Amino acid sequence: MADRYVWQKDGVTLESSSSLEIRQTDEGSTIHIESPMSRHEGFYQCFASNVFGTAVTVKALLRKASTIMHS
C-alpha cells in the first residue's frame, strides 16, 4: 500500500483542477477528466511511494479521438 501518489503529465507534477481530478482510494489512485480536450493530451505517469521505496507506472499516452466524417 502506498502512502503517497504523485501523477505527472509530460514530466510535470499534476494537481487536481476544475477539469482534472486526482482520486485516491484504499486501492490506489486514478485521474478523472470530465470533458477531455486537446490540452489533456500527453504522457501520464504515476509514482506510488511508501517506506520501502517508489514504484513507477509505465507512461500512458492519452490522446483525444478524432471525429471521422462519413459522406
Q: Structurally, how many domains does the chain consist of?
A: 1
- 2 in the Ramachandran plot: left (φ > 0), alpha (ψ -120 to 50) or beta? beta
Indicate which CATH number applies to the domain containing 45.
2.60.40.10
Q: The domain containing residue 51 runs over which residues?
A: 4-62
pTM assigned to the model: 0.83
Per mean pLDDT, which range of 10-14, 23-27, 45-49 is the poorest? 23-27
> Would you state the pLDDT for residue 26?
85
> Would you state the pLDDT for residue 71?
64
Distance CA(13)–CA(33), nearest Å, equals 16
Residues 37-51: tens digit of each pLDDT = 889 999 999 999 999
- CB neighbours of residue 24 within 10 Å: 11
